[in-house]
Structure 1
Amino acid sequence: MPEEKSSQGSSPVEKGAQAANAVRGAVKTGKAIAGAAKGAAAGGPYGAVAGLVWGNRHLIGKIILITVFIMLLPVLFILMLPALIFGGLVDAFTPDDPTVPVLNDSAYITENMTDITNSVSGVLSEALEDILKEIEDDFASSTADQREIINPHENAPAYNANAFVSQFCASKNEDFESITFADMESTLRSAKGELYSYTSKEETRTRVETTVTVDSGTGKETETSTTVTEDWIVYTIVYNGEDYFADHVFHLDAEQKELSNNYAQNLSVFLGDGMFQRLPNGYEAIGSLGDIKFTDGDTEVVYFNQLDERYADKPYGTDDIGGYGCGPTAMAIVVSSLTEDIVDPVEMARWSYEHGYWASGNGSYHGLIPAAAEAWELPVEGCGKDGGQKISDALSGGKLVVALMDEGHFTNSGHFIVLRGVRNGKILVADPASYERSEQEWDLSIILDEAREGAAAGGPFWIIG
């Protein structure tokens, strides 16, 4: 085997990439990558090592090379993530400079993801235009008088690019070396006719038509009202969703679907946009809390709880609000408290989905918070974990602050809460998953310490109002 050389100043990622380059010949099947992805989802990078080695124990003589670099774990993200974002799995180096590991070139990865997202969005937009043309053709061939089109995707196609990337990579199975951006785009485009469908129903509507006549002699106006009956066709556009593509376009089997889900979750975490915002499996809804307002802070706050039986089992994309809807529920609290609109979690979840901020199986993309604030014309400003005084001043001034929390007092995974005021030097919160925690006072240091590191969209705090 050629001698591997490294300088003393080489970064762990550079050394790790060399290790990946050395052992890549041993990792030749999709199942090998599946083992790493499963391990990563279960136990982080060390879990990825365990998953890779255990899943390929018959190759242990070759895979053992990885253990030489066991402390150089960043390279394992190549095995934990869909290869497409790195431009392929086999080469761990950027194409422009074979000495620079892909993981050391964030601009390269960002460019890849931007191209992928733009491509998916473009294909979706084309598919939406196609389905609208189908509707026009269907109406033209009918005998109906009028038509109405209900299009929840008019403002922006709702999709999960991470899911498409992950499904495509998982579908390659043992042919993962052929993974390319062009191939994925071609696959999506060839099946764009399956992205959307529509339903239609016929109904009869009546309207009153008023006619004004003027007497030529007296100039007096006379109004005559006539009831007009019309036949209408109401069309509703349906996005068939990523699950449909998994079954009918990428044709994933059960094992590939599991791999795809692990890929998508790992990718969301790696990109820092969309993390695990979900309650543990087996959560229980609570009875209706009724109308609750907190008046003990600087701003009167309308409170909603995602576990309230009125909202818990309502849809958030293909998930539900009870398990995954802390983001929409937090913004329902903010919008209902700072504007004249009362927007409940169901309405906010629908808005989030329709505008592309639902992250399948993960909760919400972090961009939901500033986007919803701006949609309801509320000033919003991102703030980092070093902005404790700024947060306190904002709360004392009557503003609200959405915080993205990591593992700790508020969650064991990820969770959006609302900071709603200051009392006795302590922080008051509106926790979308706990009325009990919402009645307590909290040290600001706890909230700052447990806020999410590396949150996207300007977080982990957003000052609103």
Structure 2
Amino acid sequence: MEAQTGSDGNSYDAAILDTSMGPMYYYNQGDTRWSSYLYGGSDPMQQYGCGPTAAAMLISSFTNDGEAITPVTIADWSSANGYYAPQSGSYHSLIPSVLTAYGFQVESVTDHSPQNAASLLSSGHILVALMGKGSLTQNGHFVLITKLLPDGNVSIADPNSFANSTCEWELPLLMGELKKVYDSGAPLWAVSMAASNSSLS
């Protein structure tokens, strides 16, 4: 479901991205610090670790009193709590479960219109998106949609590509490429630090 070819083998230990919730650490599943770590004892993070990597960016940046939580920490949590899917990466339920466990407010977004996504980003949310075949993946891949930009485009944090995380994306394109799955709140979740009054219809 989320197997990816790993990135360029760099270490991104100093990369910070600007988001609607504030500065966020960038993690890459192909980072030399953990690319070969076996998720679930079997599957390399470089190929199967986008779920834990995406979650770790949020958790390290906005909770846990600033203590660094690496993708390996979240991969181990996922395995221990039943969210690791052998040869597929992570069950979709990992996203709401692990983020809620670490203190986030997580709500499924059923209105996938660009207008609704823009409204959520403008009100201080980050969106976790499960992408289908298209610009970012050939099968399935978790990314963070991090900020609405002044020109109406958005920035993202792609656990498999730092390059993708440093350029602008058209929101209608991303909403159109969401994976067509609807379990556990997928394919789109709105994440914030507290209960929001926003309508996520």
TM-score range, shorter chain: 0.7 to 0.9
How far is 1:297 from its partner? 5.1
User: Which of structures 1 and 2 has the bigger CA Rg?
Assistant: 1
Give secondary structure in 2 for the equivalent of 1:420: strand
Of 111, 114, 120, 1:394 maps to: 120
Listed as ranges, the gaps of 5+ residues in structure 2 are 193-201
Provide the residue aligned with 1:329 in structure 2: 53
Aligned: 1:463 with 2:187: no
How far is 1:285 from its partner? 5.1
CA displacement 1:19-56 (0-9 Å, x = unmatched): xxxxxxxxxxxxxxxxxxxxxxxxxxxxxxxxxxxxxx
Aligned: 1:279 with 2:4: yes
Output the CA distance in 2 between the equivalents of 1:295 and 1:307.
21
Provide the residue aligned with 1:338 in structure 2: 62
Aligned: 1:291 with 2:14: yes
Mapping for residues 156-235 of structure 1, pairs under 5 Å: none
- Taking a change above 3 Å as real, the CA distance of residues 371 and 297 of structure 1, as seen in their structure-2 partners, is closer
What letter corresponds to residue 337 of structure 1 in structure 2? S
* Residues matched between the structures, number: 188
Provide the residue aligned with 2:108 in structure 1: 382
- Taking a change above 3 Å as real, the CA distance of residues 364 and 421 of structure 1, as seen in their structure-2 partners, is same
Structure with greater contact order relative to length (CA < 8 Å, sep ≥ 6): 2
Provide the residue aligned with 1:60 in structure 2: none
Of 98, 117, 121, 1:372 maps to: 98
What letter corresponds to residue 434 of structure 1 in structure 2? S
CA contact 1:405–1:416 (8 Å) conserved in 2: yes
CA displacement 1:122-144 (0-9 Å, x = unmatched): xxxxxxxxxxxxxxxxxxxxxxx
Output the CA distance in 2 between the equivalents of 1:324 and 1:461.
19
Give secondary structure in 2 for the equivalent of 1:435: coil
Could you say which structure has the higher helix fraction?
Answer: 1
What letter corresponds to residue 410 of structure 1 in structure 2? L
Of 423, 427, 445, 2:154 maps to: 427
- Taking a change above 3 Å as real, the CA distance of residues 320 and 277 of structure 1, as seen in their structure-2 partners, is same
Provide the residue aligned with 2:168 in structure 1: 441
Give secondary structure in 2 for the equivalent of 1:462: strand
How far is 1:301 from its partner? 1.3
CA displacement 1:162-190 (0-9 Å, x = unmatched): xxxxxxxxxxxxxxxxxxxxxxxxxxxxx
Provide the residue aligned with 1:305 in structure 2: 28
- Taking a change above 3 Å as real, the CA distance of residues 387 and 284 of structure 1, as seen in their structure-2 partners, is closer
Aligned: 1:451 with 2:175: no
Output the CA distance in 1 between the equivalents of 2:18 and 2:7.
28
Output the CA distance in 2 between the equivalents of 1:355 and 1:387.
33
Structure 1 runs of 4+ aligned residues shifted over 4 Å read none
Listed as ranges, the gaps of 5+ residues in structure 1 are 1-275
How far is 1:388 from its partner? 3.0
What letter corresponds to residue 316 of structure 1 in structure 2? Y
CA contact 2:19–2:146 (8 Å) conserved in 1: no
Q: Give the alignment's TM-score, normalised by structure 1.
A: 0.39
Give secondary structure in 2 for the equivalent of 1:329: helix
How far is 1:292 from its partner? 1.2
RMSD across aligned positions (CA)? 1.6
Output the CA distance in 2 between the equivalents of 1:297 and 1:421.
5
Output the CA distance in 1 between the equivalents of 2:113 and 2:77.
30
Output the CA distance in 2 between the equivalents of 1:361 and 1:296.
31
What letter corresponds to residue 334 of structure 1 in structure 2? L
CA contact 1:301–1:420 (8 Å) conserved in 2: no
Give secondary structure in 1 for the equivalent of 2:115: helix
Give secondary structure in 2 for the equivalent of 1:442: coil
Report the identity percentage: 34
Provide the residue aligned with 1:315 in structure 2: 38
- Taking a change above 3 Å as real, the CA distance of residues 362 and 385 of structure 1, as seen in their structure-2 partners, is farther
What letter corresponds to residue 301 of structure 1 in structure 2? M
Mapping for residues 242-281 of structure 1, pairs under 5 Å: 276-280=1-5
What letter corresponds to residue 44 of structure 2 in structure 1? D
Provide the residue aligned with 2:195 in structure 1: none
How far is 1:433 from its partner? 0.2
